[in-house]
């Protein structure tokens, strides 16, 4: 059994980790911390867990965390990096769902997050937790940086095209749409049902913190710097990421069998599913599931390839992917505890 | 392994059965019938099942069904009763999620359903699949009639009060609210998102087919005929039943400790959860879960007790409860395959 | 032209007043106050008003307000009563959409609102703004107390029955459902889309502040004290109140033609609409409209009459009704500026 | 008074025309046709119109229509063209909200709509009803072809850039999102609330009928053929179009003041509203309003300009724009009857 601790269990990523981990056959949840809710029963805050979990929130305590085999950080950025060095020193594996260890270049991180990084020396050691790109490194990781929800969808959608060198890397576009749970469980007028229901908007058009993370990943895939226009949007739904990706095909790309390229690229992946030509993915097909479904089209047989990608932002975009990485890190079957189909309808 | 067949797998109850059964460790899904979709891959119709189920729909065929250990009917009423006698004769257990075997009095059934019943002689043999009321009979059942979604919520909410004789049985009121999936996967203008989203309405006020089923169950609990006013409503959500039950307390009821009454009544039930006093259930807490959560209040300490009850209409109100009954019928652990927590948010 | 001021223009009732008043041919909006947003353009906060309203929010100032013909208070309770005496003294009419002047018995008000009332001497003078009950008094009112959203629906639904003496007044039940905008434009986790969308719940079962207001009104209609069980619920929609009312018919009531009773009671009312027998109202039919639609049924021809009532909580339940009263107070046509049909779909 | 007839009044565009026209001070609605609903009261089908409209649907009859000053066709394509020649001959103005007269090149029309056009000789005479582009021609129009909902948003968003020659015309991208009412009031499983609520998807990626209409308009603006990648999506909301437009700036474009370009382009337009830099439009701000709000950004100051545009698909994208054109055609004030602010929240 893997003894697990969770830091920051009161947000949506936290409760999703709990939903999945209480049913994971090789995990024992040892503690869940929350400064604000310390002492309160977890099931009292999240009644969906009544009868499934007996724990109460506790104050964060690095010693208690260090007694775990693995600690998940489901916190805002700027929290994990305060505790990670001590946990690693104690031999505890860290799975950070925040942004603290996603960017390799500390100057870029500090520019986008507006903070001084407290342990830049660990950035090299941190493994970026996208199994479809980094599976072998993840197996040996001590410190795992889970990708953001948008970056997972965008990278999985562009990866086969970039690895094959089939598209212009200077004019990539990612038009991405998120459900409101992506904004977290924070008391903000902007995310009230009365504000966002029955409406649609773009936000952060001039610059979103996921941009440097995505460009870093895409550049590695392309083996050259890529330039991405990334526009996130908010849709009136709870869960789900839908990304519509646009790229200009070069001569090799126009000649290639793109459907076959994608099917082969993901043939052995348990959690990436290329739809048959002519079908398009819907976010509801992966609601609650650790699955990324995608499709590609070249409209009018012109020069632009369109890839549409869906995932559940809280599962393949966060908690599910984190557990997928944990399974790899602890030599478990990669799908253990995260193979449930989506909740449809 | 229990070899299972499903008749009518293209509706919401059907796909929910599939979602739960593909993850059930003791079930092998042998066949899924649909006249309209025969030959089509199930995962093509329901992409949430891609990679989880390889079957295609087949034309209904009683011989193939009779080779199963258990057959689920996820059909409209008036279908199961055409095949049940042959299946029972072949030793196959039948779990009927439709209305064909729910009403013991054939005249009542024929009045409300407007059809001639084809095997009224089986009505006595059929066991009503509400485990909290009928667990022992279910264990031995050959023909199981699963309760409707409204009846499950209403009966579980009133049961402790009626069994204790604490309320006036002539003035019961059930104000019930359903998500739109309760109306099924039918092409009807009335259930378009543009028609029912951001809106709320009552329907069937003058009479709903679940009324006789509920009154039959409540009368058995009270050991006398009860009279219920039942008003169903439609809320702009996919899943969920919320019932608000009103009853007039008699003298004994006013003197009793009602919270304790409910807690004791359901103390050993794995899937009925009495909330602490002062909390009220929300349908989202049981989304996707085989769970019924309920709470009770006596507003202003007057004479009316209010019980609020939630369930997922497709799980504890249909597919989950059917599997709970199947587990009992086949001597498996009652919770096998249906113990997952709800999907929250 | 009626020169109008609005206190508390940043909430949903405030912006709804603005939406209707900018199109009202006899109104000039002179000022809108908000302590928090003073100096900010109203259209900047509410982009729906861009090009329709040039004002900015100002700090509350009783002198500026006293220069208006009418002042609307779209504030939480406990604000209007601080300014009303001075405004009345200056000859300004006050239309209070908050709870400060709705309850005639100051002791009841203070018990439910937990505050000391600052001008109890005005409670007698205040006119309760339900035109269907109080039209003539409203015409002469200096201080108008607008009904709450739930009380409007519940009172209009019960009124014909109570005035006719057809129901038992000791066992009335109002099962009411509100859209989330009823909870106001406040930063609260409980009202995030991710918390309330695709879910349904009761709240305040043990006691809601609208109860004494409703019982006061119903008792006046019945000419005797009535006892009401009132259970409010939250539905995943922005706007709308749906009330399902239950009453036990007495002998006279069982003999009466109830459909005709309702049709006659509201025959001359511009904003109450009795549906033909067999139809049930939907909240979407009155979205954005100053209209209350209702229907009645006696299920199974038993002894309980069920009345279903809909309104838009922000229009007939708040801003629209306030303007209807203003029209009466200033001798304008009662329907001026509030006769638009609902926004459907 | 303009005597108006409506053909096809049972869809969402039809009921929206009715909502706006019943409040239009210069319009008398003379008849509304529907083969399927002939004889039924309009307000019976659309209870939002109860008390606002006394008409019943009638069977289509060209003679009765020819007695009107103007006839609106709110029909699927392939209907208007059967009646238009006779109506024009009778001197009746035609405002066609369908696709029959939008495409100037009959071969293109026939390819995309799969039908033979019945009066191609009228295509030259038809005026495309985008007032911001064609105002003077609309004033004199006998036969008006209203733009589709997507084409309105996309053309208004690109127009200033194309007229100024600031972008590469060969790589335009329009990522567009529609509410479900855009799919019409048809009984289809795909548009049930349970299918599309809480989900998001692209559709018609390989080719959508609005593409040739948009490219025709954009090419005219650019005075050269443009090439557009157009991907429509479905969001879980009733109303609203949100378009995110991407274009590659050329040297002149990179040097230009784009915010000023847009503000000047639309300075005199009553229904196009350029937001201040840094704000992004939301569909809810224009819900029910004849308004198009837009914003532009050059993310990271790179070479791609992003324009985000919103409109209500049923108003500025259909019925409102049709009335705007009618006002122009009949020399009324262009804003008459369509100046209401949006319904927010």
Q: C279 — contact with chain B (CB < 8 Å)?
A: no
Q: Which residues of D are catalytic?
A: 149
Q: How far is CA B268 from CA A51, A204, B315, in A?
A: 12, 51, 20
Looking at the complex, report in whole angstroms how far the Cα of residue C173 sits from the nearest Cα belonging to chain B: 8
**Residue D83 binned pLDDT confidence (cut-offs 50, 70, 90):** very high
Query: CA-CA distance, C95 to C84, in Å (whole number)?
Result: 10
Query: CA-CA distance, C117 to C106, in Å (whole number)?
Result: 7
| CA-based torsion, B137, B139, B140, B143: positive or negative | positive
Q: CA angle at residue C126 from C123 to C131, to 5 degrees?
A: 140
State the pairing for strand pair A304-311/A292-297: antiparallel
At C182 the pLDDT is 96
At A157 the pLDDT is 98
Q: Which residues of A touch B181 (CB under 8 A)?
A: 345
> pLDDT per residue over D24-38, tens digit each?
999 999 999 999 999
- Interface mutation target, options A11, A186, A194, A314, chain C, most CBs of C under 10 Å: A194
- Residue B150's φ and ψ, nearest 5 degrees, are -60, -50
At D23 the pLDDT is 95
Q: What is the DSSP letter of C283?
A: G
CA C320 to chain centre: 8
Closest by CA position to D243, among listed D131, D121, D155: D155
- Interface mutation target, options C192, C238, C313, chain A, most CBs of A under 10 Å: C192
At D11 the pLDDT is 96
Q: D277 — contact with chain C (CB < 8 Å)?
A: no
CA atoms within 13 A on the CB side of C94: 32
Tell me if the pTM is above 0.90. yes
At B282 the pLDDT is 98
CB contact under 8 A, B187 and D188: yes
pLDDT tens track, chain B, 345 positions? 999 999 998 999 999 999 999 999 999 999 999 999 999 999 999 999 999 999 999 999 999 999 999 999 999 999 999 999 999 999 999 999 999 999 999 999 999 999 999 999 999 999 999 999 999 999 999 999 999 999 999 999 999 999 999 999 999 999 999 999 999 999 999 999 999 999 999 999 998 999 999 999 999 999 999 999 999 999 999 999 999 999 999 999 999 999 999 999 999 999 999 999 999 999 999 999 999 999 999 999 999 999 999 999 999 999 999 999 999 999 999 999 999 999 999
CB contact under 8 A, A51 and B273: yes
At A134 the pLDDT is 97
Query: CA-CA distance, B141 to B129, in Å (whole number)?
Result: 9
Where are the domain boundaries for CATH 3.40.50.720 in chain C? 2-146+318-329
Task: Report the chain C residue with the minimal C-alpha distance to residue A234.
Answer: C193
Query: CA-CA distance, C114 to C211, in Å (whole number)?
Result: 15
Query: CA-CA distance, A154 to D49, in Å (whole number)?
Result: 46
At D87 the pLDDT is 98
Q: How many DSSP H helices and E strands does chain B contain? A: 12, 14
- Interface mutation target, options D195, D200, D281, D284, chain A, most CBs of A under 10 Å: D200
SS3 at position C160: helix
Cross-chain CB nearest to D297 (options A206, A235, A246): A206
CB A6 within 8 A of CB A18: yes
Instruction: Provide the mean pLDDT of chain C.
Output: 97
CA A41 to chain centre: 27
Cross-chain CB nearest to D235 (options A195, A200, A238): A200
CB contact under 8 A, A343 and B287: yes
What's the burial of C329, exposed, middle or buried (CB within 10 Å: 0-12/13-18/19+)?
A: buried
In DSSP notation, D201-252 reads EE--TT--THHHHHHHHHHHHHTS---EEEEEEE-SSSS-EEEEEEEEB-HH
Looking at the complex, report in whole angstroms how far the Cα of residue D168 sits from the nearest Cα belonging to chain A: 12
Task: Report the chain A residue with the minimal C-alpha distance to residue C192.
Answer: A192
Instruction: Provide the mean pLDDT of chain A.
Output: 97
Cross-chain CB nearest to C297 (options B205, B304, B308): B205
What's the burial of C136, exposed, middle or buried (CB within 10 Å: 0-12/13-18/19+)?
A: exposed
- Residue D306's φ and ψ, nearest 5 degrees, are -115, 125
Quote the percentage of chain A above a pLDDT of 70.
100
Task: Provide mean pLDDT across the span D289-303.
Answer: 96
Cα radius of gyration rounded to whole Å, chain B? 20
Q: What is the DSSP letter of A181?
A: G
CATH number of the structural domain C150-311: 3.30.360.10
Query: CA-CA distance, D106 to D111, in Å (whole number)?
Result: 9
Residue C61 CB neighbours (<10 A): 14
Q: Which element (helix H / strand E) includes D80?
A: helix D80-89
Q: Which residues of C are catalytic?
A: 149
CB contact under 8 A, D181 and B194: yes
Q: What is the DSSP letter of A150?
A: H
At C135 the pLDDT is 98
Contacts of B194 (CB under 8 A, 6+ apart): C345, D12, D179, D180, D181, D183, D185, D191, D238
Find residue A93's DSSP bridge partners.
A70
Closest by CA position to A58, among listed A10, A3, A93: A10
Whether residue A146 lies in the annotated active site: no
At C57 the pLDDT is 97
Q: Which residues of D touch C345 (CB under 8 A)?
A: 12, 15, 181, 185, 238-239
Q: A195 — contact with chain D (CB < 8 Å)?
A: yes
Q: Which residues of B touch A339 (CB under 8 A)?
A: 23, 52
Phi-psi region of D91 (alpha: psi -120 to 50; beta: other; left: phi over 0): left
At C139 the pLDDT is 97
- Residue C76's φ and ψ, nearest 5 degrees, are -65, 165
Token code pair at residue C43: 């259209």
Sheet with D143-145: strands ordered across: D57-58, D27-33, D2-7, D70-73, D93-96, D143-145, D127-128
- Residue A197's φ and ψ, nearest 5 degrees, are -70, 150
Q: C107 — contact with chain D (CB < 8 Å)?
A: no
Q: A304 — contact with chain B (CB < 8 Å)?
A: no
Find the helix packing angle between C319-329 and C12-21, rounded to 10°.
50
State the pairing for strand pair D241-248/D292-297: unpaired
What's the burial of D71, exposed, middle or buried (CB within 10 Å: 0-12/13-18/19+)?
A: buried
- Residue A74's φ and ψ, nearest 5 degrees, are -110, 60
CB A81 within 8 A of CB A105: no
* CA quadruple B145, B151, B154, B157: dihedral, nearest 10: 20
**Residue A199 binned pLDDT confidence (cut-offs 50, 70, 90):** very high
Where are the domain boundaries for CATH 3.30.360.10 in chain A? 150-311
Q: What is the DSSP letter of A300?
A: G
Q: Which residues of C touch D198 (CB under 8 A)?
A: 197-198
Q: A281 — contact with chain D (CB < 8 Å)?
A: yes
Query: CA-CA distance, B18 to B33, in Å (whole number)?
Result: 12
**Residue C23 binned pLDDT confidence (cut-offs 50, 70, 90):** very high
Cross-chain CB nearest to C308 (options B205, B244, B287): B205
At A103 the pLDDT is 97
Q: A259 — contact with chain D (CB < 8 Å)?
A: no
At D135 the pLDDT is 98
Q: Which residues of A touch D299 (CB under 8 A)?
A: 205-207, 229-231
Q: How many DSSP H helices and E strands does chain A contain? A: 12, 14
What CATH number matches the domain at D2-146+318-329, 3.40.50.720, 1.10.3720.10, 1.20.120.420, 3.40.50.300?
Answer: 3.40.50.720
SS3 at position B89: helix
Find the helix packing angle between C149-164 and C131-139, rounded to 10°.
100
The greatest distance separating any two alpha carbons of chain D, rounded to the nearest whole angstrom, comes to 62
At A298 the pLDDT is 97
Query: CA-CA distance, D240 to D149, in Å (whole number)?
Result: 9
Token code pair at residue C203: 């709240």
Q: How far is CA B329 from CA B131, B143, B324, D75, in A?
A: 11, 10, 9, 56
Where would I find the beta strands (DSSP E) of B34-82?
A: 57-58, 70-73
Looking at the complex, report in whole angstroms how far the Cα of residue C49 sits from the nearest Cα belonging to chain D: 6
Q: H helices within chain C, ranges in order?
A: 12-21, 42-45, 62-66, 80-89, 106-113, 131-139, 149-164, 193-196, 210-222, 251-255, 258-265, 319-329
ipTM score assigned to the predicted complex:
0.97
Q: B283 — contact with chain C (CB < 8 Å)?
A: yes
Query: CA-CA distance, D313 to C345, in Å (whole number)?
Result: 12
State the pairing for strand pair B292-297/C27-33: unpaired
CB B2 within 8 A of CB B323: no
Query: CA-CA distance, C288 to D52, in Å (whole number)?
Result: 14
Contacts of A32 (CB under 8 A, 6+ apart): A5, A6, A9, A14, A18, A42, A55, A57, A58
Q: B238 — contact with chain C (CB < 8 Å)?
A: yes
CB A250 within 8 A of CB A184: no
Task: Report the chain A residue with the minimal C-alpha distance to residue D241.
Answer: A200
At A97 the pLDDT is 98
């Amino acid at each position: 059994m893997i003894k697990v601790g969770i830091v920051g269990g009161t947000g949506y990523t936290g409760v999703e980790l709990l939903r999945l981990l209480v049913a994971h056959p090789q995990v024992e949840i040892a503690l869940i911390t929350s400064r604000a809710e310390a002492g309160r029963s977890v099931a009292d805050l999240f009644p969906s867990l009544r009868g499934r979990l007996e724990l109460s929130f506790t104050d964060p305590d690095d010693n208690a965390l260090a007694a775990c085999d693995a600690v998940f950080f489901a916190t805002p950025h700027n929290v994990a990096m305060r505790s990670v060095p001590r946990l690693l020193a104690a031999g505890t594996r860290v799975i950070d769902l925040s942004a603290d260890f996603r960017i390799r270049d500390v100057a870029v991180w500090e520019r986008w997050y507006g903070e001084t990084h407290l342990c830049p020396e660990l950035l090299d050691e941190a493994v970026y937790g996208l199994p479809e790109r980094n599976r072998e490194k993840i197996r040996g990781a001590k410190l795992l940086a889970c990708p953001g929800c948008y970056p997972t969808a965008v990278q999985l959608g562009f990866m086969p095209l970039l690895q094959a060198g089939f598209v212009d890397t200077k004019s990539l576009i990612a038009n991405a749409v998120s459900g409101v749970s992506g904004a977290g469980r924070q008391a903000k007028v902007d995310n009230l049902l009365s504000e966002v229901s029955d409406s649609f908007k773009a936000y952060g058009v001039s610059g979103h913190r996921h941009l440097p993370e995505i460009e870093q990943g895409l550049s590695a895939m392309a083996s050259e710097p890529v330039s991405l226009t990334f526009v996130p949007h908010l849709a009136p739904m709870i869960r789900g990421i839908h990304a519509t990706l646009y790229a200009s095909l070069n001569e090799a790309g126009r000649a290639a069998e793109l459907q076959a390229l994608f099917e082969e690229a993901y043939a052995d992946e348990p959690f990436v599913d290329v739809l048959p030509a002519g079908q398009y993915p819907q976010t509801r097909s992966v609601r609650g599931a650790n699955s990324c479904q995608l499709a590609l089209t070249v409209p009018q047989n012109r020069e632009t390839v369109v890839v549409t990608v869906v995932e559940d932002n809280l599962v393949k975009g966060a908690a599910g992917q984190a557990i997928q990485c944990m399974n790899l890190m602890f030599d478990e079957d990669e799908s253990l505890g995260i193979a449930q189909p989506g909740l449809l309808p």
